[in-house]
Amino acid sequence: MGGLSLASSLSSQGMRGTIKKESFGKTTGGEQIELYSLSNKKGMEVSITNFGATVVTLKVPDRAGKAADTVLGYDTLDGYEKGTSYFGATVGRYGNRIAGGKFSLDGKTYTLPKNNGENTLHGGIVGFNKKVWKAREIASKAGESLEMTYLSADGEEGFPGNLSAKVVFTLPAERNELKIDYTATTDKDTVLNLTNHSYFNLAGEGNGDILDHVMTLHAKQFTPVDKGLIPTGELKNVGGTPMDFNSATAIGKRINESDEQLVFGKGYDHNWVLTRAGGGSGLLVAAEAYDPKSGRKLEVLTTEPGVQFYSGNFLDGAKGKGNKPYPQRAAFCLETQHFPDSPNHPNFPSTLLKPNVVFHSQTVFRFSAK
């Protein structure tokens, strides 16, 4: 990558893959930031920075074995410090929106900073995506892992409780997948919704739009929203609507229809309720995306109850890596999560985290090509 200093470069040879650490520069506040590159023997390479516990590059082979970087982002730390799109970041303490920047817990009303019209989005003004995380490399027989930890103080961005968050990224030696394990504990009742906000373009970032990518979402229902993108509380069947992706459908096929939900979202920007036969919270395939041109396929597996499929509607042509413009719909996100605004919807799966309970969730981005 251009603009990187190799001064503090360090390589460690794991059992089957490698982790390389290099400087990603200093924040405007003077904090040293690192970039870690994990690679395996199957041609996959992922780089992650401890600024926002952010996935910076994600290189995977196409059907001819040629690797391309499939995620949007920036070449330098500066881009991530200034950016407003959450490229690749770990989002918290509460991913997606909380209506009116308010929720009640144990009889007390908490007021959060509003950073998205009347609402709070992705944890507030300075979310986890803008925090400096502590990183630790872990090598095992199974592959290479990078652990990121962050302590969010009681009252940070209005949320109660000291929250200790841990995100472990693993690149298995023998499979092209990025596994993300989230754990968290708190010392007071709080609400929590952690996700990763990678923007994928399976043809390679900066390579046109994703309207021809074919999407499958394993969900029979979604949570309709109002014009501020706040869920109405209803779980609506997708059948007969442009939200039905139970069979593989090109993202662009229905995206410009006059359906009210698509108008509110300026495209897809909704939470799908994952179909969990018999309930439970095991790891299941939530979504599959396929790029017919390159043959690259992404499967998203998760233990979470929902996935936000966002079709990059707010991208505006601002420049990213290699000075390439990222126009509207240059990428899609599949943000595995609890439902938006859950603290204000008792009928949604609960996002309450209590002291002495360890929160754990897992999401896997699995790649193949054919």
Residue of 45, 147, 157, 197 with catalytic role: 197
Candidates 10-18, 146-154, 200-208, 306-314: pick the segment binding ligand GLA (CB under 6 A).
306-314
3-state secondary structure of 99: helix
Q: Which of 39, 47, 85, 145 is in the footprint of ligand GLA by CB under 6 A?
A: 85
Within positions 330 to 359, which residues make up the interface with ligand GLA, using CB under 6 A? Answer: 333, 335
Helix, strand and coil in the chain, % to nearest 5: 5, 45, 50
Q: Which of these is catalytic: 270, 335, 338, 345?
A: 335
- Residue 78: in which H helix or E strand, if any? helix 77-82
Q: Closest approach of Cβ 107 to ligand GLA, in Å?
A: 30
Q: 130: how many CB neighbours lie within 10 A of its CB? A: 18
The per-residue DSSP string of 246-266 comes to SS-EETTSSTTS--HHHHHHT
Q: Are 196 and 119 in contact (CB under 8 A)?
A: no
Closest residue to ligand GLA using C-beta atoms: 310
Q: Is 270 a catalytic residue?
A: no
Asked whether position 269 contacts ligand GLA by CB under 6 A, the answer is yes
Q: 3-state secondary structure string, 143-174?
A: EEEEEEEEEECCCHHHCCCCEEEEEEEEEECC
Range in contact with ligand GLA (rule: CB under 6 A) among 127-135, 146-154, 213-221, 307-315: 307-315
User: Minimal distance in Å, beta carbon 137 to ligand GLA?
Assistant: 29
Rounded to the nearest whole angstrom, what is the least distance from the CB of residue 79 to ligand GLA in the complex?
15
Q: Using the rule CB under 6 A, is 301 a contact of ligand GLA?
A: no
Rounded CA-CA distance 143/130 in Å is 28
Q: How far is the CB of 323 from ligand GLA (least distance, A)?
A: 21
Contact 53, 127 (CB under 8 A): no
Q: How many residues are given for the chain?
A: 370
> Residue 81: phi, psi to the nearest 5?
-65, -40
Q: How far is the CB of 116 from ligand GLA (least distance, A)?
A: 7
Q: Is residue 310 involved in binding ligand GLA (CB under 6 A)?
A: yes
Identified binder of ligand GLA from the candidate list 80, 86, 133, 339, rule CB under 6 A: 86
Radius of gyration of the chain (CA): 19
* Sequence-separated (6 or more) residues with CB below 8 Å from residue 30: none
What does each C-alpha distance from 226 to 42, 270, 339 come to in angstroms?
44, 11, 14
Binding mask 117-136 for ligand GLA (x = CB under 6 A): ----x---------------
Residue 69 is encoded by which pair of tokens?
A: 């970087």
With binding defined as CB under 6 A, does residue 96 bind ligand GLA?
yes
Instruction: Please identify, using beta-carbon distances, which residue of 47 and 129 lies nearer to ligand GLA.
Output: 129
Task: Rank residues 87 and 290 by Cβ distance to ligand GLA and give the closer one.
Answer: 87
Q: Is 219 among the residues that bind ligand GLA (CB under 6 A)?
A: no
CB-wise, 12 or 232, nearer to ligand GLA? Answer: 232
- What single DSSP character describes residue 339? P
Tell me the number of residues near ligand GLA by CB under 6 A: 11
| Cβ nearer to ligand GLA, comparing 204 with 231 | 231
Catalog residues that contact ligand GLA under the rule CB under 6 A. 85-86, 96, 121, 229, 269, 308, 310, 314, 333, 335
Residues tagged active-site = 197, 335
